[in-house]
Amino acid sequence: MQFIPPLDLDQLKGFLAKDEAEALFQAALLTSKNGPVLEIGSYCGKSTICLGMACRENGSSVFALDHHRGSEEHQQGEYFHDPDLYDPGSAQVDTFREFRRNISAAGLDNTVVPIVAASELAARHWNTPLGMLFIDGGHSLDAALADYRCWVGHLLRGGVLAIHDIFPDAAKGGQAPYAILRMALNSGLFEETARVNSLALLRRL
């Protein structure tokens, strides 16, 4: 099935290439029949919409986990800070309003379940097997390791683990996502099935 975005994804804030968007959709289309999708790091919802369109097709759901306070690189004074997403009232980044608007505009209010919390907190009582896990949260080593350790065990056999921002060349980007990719492969629990741009797709054996 072809991925037809419900709105122009290029107009949305976020960091996801076209080929990555398509790959996320296709992976979720295959796996969300077996269990819901959980995404870590939704930001303004660009990737959530790709996953959500596939889940809606299957009558499944996307749990979109994000504290919506921005990652390290989104904070004031940092390279990826966006003043539109800064809430002067709370003196914090707040991406939830923009996220919510985009999910509604995409017609996915009945498919996407936002979880506005830290990854470790949300994982504490989690007990639902996942068809797919997409890790695109904080890019510090601590954050990436926590996301991996908290959630990977919930993935069903045959499910897909997707990791964004894989840069084997350290000059091109941070190394934390690449570190958890290698950890997954070294565990013997996964095989890499595709690499699309900076997106790695692994299958849980």
Residues involved in catalysis: 139
Q: Which two tokens stand for residue 76?
A: 């004031």
Minimal distance, residue 15 CB to Mg ion, in Å: 5
- Interface with Mg ion, residue 20, by CB under 5 A: no
* Binding residues with Mg ion: total (CB under 5 A): 4
- Interface with Mg ion, residue 98, by CB under 5 A: no
**Contact between 191 and 158 (Cβ < 8 Å):** no
Distances from the Cα of 36 to the Cα of 22, 155, 160, angstroms: 18, 10, 11
Minimal distance, residue 137 CB to Mg ion, in Å: 9
Indicate the residue among 3 and 15 with the shorter CB distance to Mg ion. Answer: 15
147 sits in which H/E element:
helix 141-151
**What is residue 47's three-state secondary structure?**
helix
- Interface with Mg ion, residue 39, by CB under 5 A: no
Tell me how far apart the alpha carbons of residues 118 and 101 are, in angstroms, rounded to a whole number: 21
Minimal distance, residue 4 CB to Mg ion, in Å: 23
Site string for Mg ion, 121-140 (x = CB under 5 A): ---------------x----
- Interface with Mg ion, residue 66, by CB under 5 A: no
Strand pairing of 86-87 and 92-93?
A: antiparallel
φ and ψ at residue 177, rounded to 5 degrees:
-60, -40
* List of E strands, 49-154: 62-65, 86-87, 92-93, 112-115, 130-135
Minimal distance, residue 25 CB to Mg ion, in Å: 16
Indicate the residue among 39 and 136 with the shorter CB distance to Mg ion. Answer: 136
Indicate the residue among 58 and 133 with the shorter CB distance to Mg ion. Answer: 133
- Interface with Mg ion, residue 68, by CB under 5 A: no
Indicate the residue among 98 and 136 with the shorter CB distance to Mg ion. Answer: 136
Q: Which residues bind Mg ion (CB under 5 A)?
A: 15, 136, 164-165
